[in-house]
Structure 1
Amino acid sequence: MFAKYRSVSLIVRILIGLVVGSLLGVLLPTWSGIGILGSLFVGALKGIAPVMVFFLIMSAVSGYKQGGENHFGSVIVMYLTATLLSAFAAVGASWLFPVRLVLPEAAKVAGGAPQSLGKVISDLLTNAVGNPLAAIVDANYLSILFWALMIGFALRLTSTQTRRVITEVSGAITNVAQLVIECAPFGIAGLIYTTISESGFAGVAKYGQLVLVLVGTMAFVYLVVYPAMVWVMTRQNPYPLTLWTLKVSGIPAFFTRSSAVNIPINLKASEDLGLNKESYSVSIPLGGSANSGGAAITVSVMTLAACATLGIHVSFPLALILCVLTALAATGASGIAGGSLLIIPMAASLFGISNDIAMQVVGIGFIIGVIQDSVETAVNSASDLLFTATAEYHDALKKGQPVDIKAAVARAEGKNQPVTVEAVASK
């Protein structure tokens, strides 16, 4: 039965779960039994993701062979460039389509928010060197990344048998995460049921224009800006790879709303593309914190919406500073409690907006988060895969090696087909 279940594409199963959860939310809004599936799914995601990221990076670094090929330089440059260009696109969209918010009289959001660049950097450094066990418990991915790298380098001095054990444990944990992902349709049905039965779509509809600007900007960035970057790096048609990464990585990330949990999907897709494992086994987890174009868009658009609402004129130099500031802050957003939304007060302080008003904007962000956060995660996660592949193709072309992106995607598409019951039975 499980083999038959898996024979259907994960994306199709997720869409079925979405439809079923929506119908149940409308027809049986008081039936709370289905909602617990969403809670169990989210709990499983939060539980396994930090452990998986820690062991994946530690295993990849400990098994790294000196002199082997990697593409870290190109990947990191693309991550940072994409985040900065995303911020620029968000500023441009805000100028073309200014949004005015209806700020509530009193909006309270739990937790504090950084109000200066110095505070952001201080928080990032402090979070990075926090207790590694506490980092796993609290899902502090910046600290997880730091300690996984440190321990991974230390393990390089140990025996081959020790490193093999770490690799096998990492593989086992990844298999558990993949099993959780297989249950995504049930979890998503529970999540969408809870959302519709409790609040419907009225809250999101109230801020429809803001949602359209955010989603439209993210779509423009992923379908225009990022393909342009791929073309510059490879001089080949970027859309076969761009659309494929959006399909295999972006759609699952949209529904799970977790870049960390989407790592196994990106790793499998990288393998299907035939990429270098020594490179993608580190660059994919790294992208979870270093590649945050979606977060940069959210911070920039919502900050400028607050300015438009308050009648604050935004000059070009200030807009330029905002782009750099949000790009830097978004890069470490996962290391700050509350994620990208709590960076808004820091950006708003550039324009003299009080923390009270800024936190009301953050409150609006949580209201539209069901859409905003889903699209943001899809952009971030899919671009991790896109840029990892592009960096490797770029380095190969520089060495004079032949690269056919369209053919690579076609091969990966064939490998990504669901396993049929007949194929399982024959094995």
Structure 2
Amino acid sequence: MKNLVSRWNQINLVNRIIIGIIIGGILAITIPEQASGISMLGTLFVSALKAVAPVLVLFLVINALAGQKEGNQTNMKSILILYAIGTFLAGFVAVVASYIFPVTLTLKESAKEIAPPSGIGEVLEKLVYNIVTNPVTAIMDANYIGILAWAVVLGIALKKSSATTKNVLENISDAITKVVQWVINLAPFGILGLVFDAIATNGLSALSEYGRLLLVLVGSMLFIALIVNPLLVFIYTRKNPYPLVLTCLKDSGITAFFTRSSAANIPVNIKLCEKLGLDKDTYSVSIPLGATINMAGAAVTISVLTLAAVHTLGIEVDFATAVILMVVSAVSAAGASGIAGGSLLLIPVACSLFGISDDVAMQVVAIGFIIGVVQDSCETALNSSSDVVFTAAAEQAKARKNNR
């Protein structure tokens, strides 16, 4: 048994995940009646990621801030600017793509009873309240905005603590990171269950029915990953951006695609930053922060699905409203992690700009849940890989400036 496990672990994780996808698809087609037992693998995998990710973010940020050496200069300002520009441009690309390739939907009854925010004001209000929420509640509810706020406060407060205290924080951080790596190592089995559940429950026809919508979503995200992000990197670094971008997509994006959790992908991104030789004082803060607020993929999802509803209802949209939609998508995307349901639940907020009722908007949300197996995976891959891309771009820009 030990030899079998050892041989299995020697196989590249991506190859193991592909094996899990193939087996999950075959089982879903041949024995769909076993849905409850096999689907449990996917449920357990997702639950394990959700359980450990909030604690991981808390201790990583506390440890990073508490352990920073006095006088060290970081590139956080440049990285935050890149995060903001990247998210806004993602909304812009999604709006343009939706006009060039308009999508209409066959609206059905809402699949889930969920209460979306009533407007952008409620989103911003919720963000503010999430910042000052009880830290234990924030961890229990996976409120990453609240977790990040408490981690920053505690990390700053512990900067002048003893070396022993900082050593304990580092050990805890390393231990939780190791736990996440163990969970991610079980991804092939979890993804087997997720693929089985998706096909056995909805069938392959569920995805083919919304093929054009998925093409616009995935196409927009690929355009951002392969054109927009490289352009931003080139502007900052004045060097060929593709070696960096492709490395990040391979080492970070693929894992994030299958785990579907930016927070759980933090250890992968930190390991990649180490591999790229980046400044630890910078990436130990920018990576957990990016997992919370750098949400280009969410901006694409909100914009594309909202405009799909607009095209379905035959609503005319002027340029000014389209610009407002880009801003709302970017702001809402940054707050998506603080709202149960993520980017999909923010679609009614954007729909309200065009006078679309909540009843219709929630039917669009239901479609989002159906295609979520692809949409959410691509969204997470773009979000997570961009964290490293922008962190590395800021570091390279700093090095270039210092070498002048």
Distance (Å, rounded) in 2 between the aligned partners of 1:394 and 1:28: 54
Question: Number of residues paired by the alignment?
Answer: 400
Q: Which residue of structure 2 lines up, in the alignment, with residue 405 of structure 1?
A: none
Q: Which residue of structure 2 lines up, in the alignment, with residue 322 of structure 1?
A: 325
Q: Which residue of structure 2 lines up, in the alignment, with residue 103 of structure 1?
A: 107
Q: Which residue of structure 1 lines up, in the alignment, with residue 167 of structure 2?
A: 164
- Aligned counterparts, 1:225-240, within 5 A: 225-240=228-243
**TM-score where L is the length of structure 1:** 0.91
RMSD (Å) for aligned C-alpha atoms: 1.3
Distance (Å, rounded) in 1 between the aligned partners of 2:360 and 2:197: 30
Q: Which residue of structure 2 lines up, in the alignment, with residue 373 of structure 1?
A: 376
The residue type equivalent to 1:76 in the other structure is L
Partner residue of 2:346 out of 329, 339, 343: 343
Q: Which residue of structure 1 lines up, in the alignment, with residue 286 of structure 2?
A: 283
SS at match of 2:33: coil
Kindly indicate whether residue 201 of structure 2 is the aligned counterpart of residue 201 of structure 1: no
Q: Which residue of structure 1 lines up, in the alignment, with residue 362 of structure 2?
A: 359
Gaps in structure 1 of 5+ consecutive residues? 402-427
The residue type equivalent to 1:289 in the other structure is T
The Cα shift of 1:163 comes to 1.4
User: Aligned residues: percent identity?
Assistant: 52
Distance (Å, rounded) in 2 between the aligned partners of 1:115 and 1:394: 41
- Aligned counterparts, 1:246-325, within 5 A: 246-325=249-328
SS at match of 1:390: helix
Write the deviation string for residues 109-154 of structure 1: whole angstroms up to 9, x where unpaired. Answer: 3332123221111010111211111111111111110001111111
The residue type equivalent to 1:129 in the other structure is V
Kindly indicate whether residue 221 of structure 2 is the aligned counterpart of residue 218 of structure 1: yes
8 Å CA contact retained: 2:41, 2:194 = yes
Partner residue of 1:46 out of 47, 50, 54: 50
The Cα shift of 1:187 comes to 1.1
Distance (Å, rounded) in 1 between the aligned partners of 2:46 and 2:119: 32
Distance (Å, rounded) in 2 between the aligned partners of 1:103 and 1:183: 37
Write the deviation string for residues 80-107 of structure 1: whole angstroms up to 9, x where unpaired. Answer: 0000000000010011011111111x31
**TM-score where L is the length of structure 2:** 0.96
Distance (Å, rounded) in 2 between the aligned partners of 1:256 and 1:141: 17
SS at match of 2:34: coil
The Cα shift of 1:108 comes to 5.0
8 Å CA contact retained: 2:90, 2:296 = yes
Q: Which residue of structure 2 lines up, in the alignment, with residue 117 of structure 1?
A: 120
The Cα shift of 1:392 comes to 0.7
Distance (Å, rounded) in 2 between the aligned partners of 1:55 and 1:202: 43
Partner residue of 1:180 out of 180, 183, 188: 183
SS at match of 2:149: helix
Gaps in structure 2 of 5+ consecutive residues? none
Write the deviation string for residues 304-351 of structure 1: whole angstroms up to 9, x where unpaired. Answer: 111111111110111011111111111111011211111111111111
The Cα shift of 1:246 comes to 0.6
Distance (Å, rounded) in 2 between the aligned partners of 1:145 and 1:38: 28
The residue type equivalent to 2:127 in the other structure is L
- Aligned counterparts, 1:50-129, within 5 A: 50-104=54-108, 106-107=109-110, 109-129=112-132
Distance (Å, rounded) in 2 between the aligned partners of 1:309 and 1:34: 37
The residue type equivalent to 1:63 in the other structure is G
Write the deviation string for residues 251-288 of structure 1: whole angstroms up to 9, x where unpaired. Answer: 11111111111111101111111111111111011011
SS at match of 1:353: coil
Query: Which stretches of structure 1, 4 residues or longer, exceed 2 Å deviation after superposition?
Result: 1-7, 30-36, 108-111
Partner residue of 2:245 out of 235, 242, 245: 242
The Cα shift of 1:159 comes to 1.4
Kindly indicate whether residue 143 of structure 2 is the aligned counterpart of residue 140 of structure 1: yes
Distance (Å, rounded) in 2 between the aligned partners of 1:34 and 1:101: 32
